[in-house]
Structure 1
């Protein structure tokens, strides 16, 4: 098996142990590639059967795995071409370590001297590296310090994984499977014991360990997880993800948080795995957002998922429509190492199937949860309670502020709207997103303020510069006539703000991003083309003037939202958890 050059501990195999049979050998490149994803040389064991022979390297994406059957599905994405090893007099008769340059072009020298002669072989940190030779016996060395144990895999049905690129193959490991730097024990007795232990929990509510950002951290995902856990009908604990800042380290959590994961501390991900694998929990529930975890595109979370021996439910809060190769590989690995993938809309389900090739049987659609609020026929009292006149026409956009909110779009439309409705009020509710605050401060808010002044809207637009808790936000939603989600990300597959607006029975106008086209269908709201100010202003004026049209959309939205209230969502997560345990 393969050792990446630079590993600290090597255990040489003796002559009597021999080498691994001719076949394919895998190792994960996470530790060495780190953030850059580049490997220049590889070390592995050979003997004289390799004299004047060639080897070939391949890079594989993890597509799926099944621990109970010791199976994994890998997808070949890159091959190196044939690489020469060396002459007979250069190779010892017993198994010994050599280092070879890992290049895309042909290589004639076998020692790692000098730079790569060809194009550097591309390997991403969470991919698998394979080597094959038809005549050469390949050896390996375990590396416990780096948690990199490799294994020999034999292809099923005589398939040659190197024969065709971008074709899926199934492999059966001969000993144990290594996924993302962690050894997964595949002994039959342990697997049987684990399954028996899991089945004993079928008749009780599963004990769940949730992981994600959590209040008092200020972000939409933290609010989501707090609402979800409060409505989960069984026992649970939380692992909170902290950013590596002073604010993250000083945050005060409730007693439900049993551990704090520092997103940039690689070793802490293994600590989380140990907690999950203890006997205290039956299911691990991960709230996934790329920016929440360390490494490029949050790749550190893969080593956590791959080391867990309990059912894993992963909820995806972002699905990219056109991913680059690195992001594609990360997402596939996250899905492959999860027992069930939860998406928050039907559009998200289709993206996973069409773009990422995820098995549709593995995907569950669970709507974004919303509070269970009453339908208000009159908004007058709510307006007065906030200090406004009872009949003032009010609109709002709410949520943490960043440029994708595209608030400058409705501000431009307001120039026309105020001519027909002079007393209209547009509320911009929320603070600058904390991550945006770190990179550019409140520059986006200042730009909006300049627009408001330039457009002559100072009496018609008001900032509510506050991070609101659920009850406060519900009070503001109760007062506004129209909610706007004018976002400019066409592939946005979910929006907490839009979900809340529909659940509260508001009249919603939105740009036609993916989630909006689904949620506002069947008369539950109104769509306006991206950045078409004439259409938006005309639509807003019409809805303020036609109460019947506005109220009909409100009622449709509210009725649909009854299936999205948090108690129902919590029950769905409990049902999925129970199903995973019973089917293990």
Structure 2
């Protein structure tokens, strides 16, 4: 707080996460910070609505700027081999990987025998407290379920270009998160930016971003619906094509140059307002 109060230039708070039910101390700290900055940026309309409705903040301070992403400029790659169901990101409890592993048993009979690729290292905080317990439990689950040859864990590091290529190689991106609270998901944005169909549990950012048809949203507690959604994307080319086309339509709004211009425009407006008050 002392740093913010000591600033002599305008300040912007980027609120990546807006808790639905913050503890009293969390609410107090956030309200105090928000009162001292010039603007608060959220990355989805749902986040903005939650912020205005649940926190003590001047609504005029809230600006929505989408999460940025790298939008590929090359034509989509030609996918060959086994279709890939992809989940990527830091791994740990809450990612819902077990949901897709459970679904893979019902997908093994599909043409091409889809493969579930879980790409990402274990979250550092999880690694520090629990080691690789979550990853190992999921490997054991795949073995017990008889789908070990269809589930792959990849911990390799990828730069932005390599990560974009990985997402583009997927037949479908699965976001089976436990959270019913998540208002910003970089993995979701990256999937849309790369023009890939998405199957996700009903966390708020997915409900909002996939509402026009770029993906299928399923209930958290409905494994049959998750398996059915994945099966549809993998076996219905027209549906998958329509979802990919809608993702490509949405993608330009997330391109980093456009997002950067929105931030720059906001900064100019804040400076102009400051000058007008002097």
TM-score range, shorter chain: over 0.9
In structure 2, which of residues 257, 264, 268 is the aligned counterpart of residue 578 of structure 1? Answer: 268
- Equivalent residue of 1:497, what SS? helix
Partner of 1:417: 107
Question: Do the aligned partners of 2:77 and 2:168 also contact (CA within 8 Å) in 1?
Answer: no
Counterparts of 1:204-353 in structure 2 under 5 Å?
Answer: 302-353=1-52
**TM-score, normalising length: structure 1:** 0.46
Unpaired runs of 5+ residues, structure 1, are: 1-301, 381-389
Query: In the TM superposition, what is the alpha-carbon distance from 1:421 to its structure 2 partner?
Result: 4.6
- Which structure has the larger Rg? 1
The answer on 1:531 being equivalent to 2:214 is: no
Specify which of 540, 555, 577 is matched with residue 230 of structure 2.
540
CA distance in 1, matches of 2:186, 2:169: 19
Question: Contact 2:87–2:175 at 8 Å: present in 1 too?
Answer: yes
What secondary structure is seen at the aligned counterpart in 2 of 1:400?
coil
Q: Give, in angstroms, the shift of residue 483 of structure 1.
A: 0.1
Trace 1:158-557 onto structure 2 (pairs within 5 A).
302-374=1-73, 376-377=75-76, 379-380=78-79, 390-421=80-111, 423-557=113-247
Q: Deviations over 1:557-582 (max 9, x none)?
A: 11111011001111111111111111
Q: Is the counterpart of residue 559 in structure 1 residue 258 in structure 2?
A: no
Which range moved further: 436-445 or 335-344?
436-445
**RMSD (CA atoms):** 1.3
Determine helix, strand or coil for the equivalent of 1:402: coil
Work out whether residues 430 and 468 of structure 1, in 8 Å CA contact, stay in contact via their aligned partners in 2. Answer: no
> What displacement does 1:304 show?
1.6
Using the TM superposition, give the Cα deviation of residue 524 of structure 1 relative to its aligned residue in structure 2, in angstroms.
1.6
DSSP 3-state at the match of 1:426: strand
Give the gaps of 5 or more residues in structure 2: none
Q: Secondary structure at the match of 1:404?
A: coil
CA contact 1:409–1:531 (8 Å) conserved in 2: no
User: How far off is 1:379 after superposition?
Assistant: 2.8
Q: TM-score, with normalisation over the residues of structure 2? A: 0.95
**Is the Cα–Cα contact under 8 Å of residues 174 and 200 in structure 2 kept in the other structure?**
yes
Higher strand share: 1
- Shift in Å, 1:331: 1.1
Q: What do residues 163-183 of structure 1 show as CA deviations (whole Å, max 9, x unaligned)?
A: xxxxxxxxxxxxxxxxxxxxx
- Considering Cα pairs closer than 8 Å and 6+ residues apart, tell me whether 1 or 2 has the greater RCO: 2
**Is the contact made by 2:201 and 2:219 (CA closer than 8 Å) also made in structure 1?**
yes
Bigger fraction of residues in helix: 2
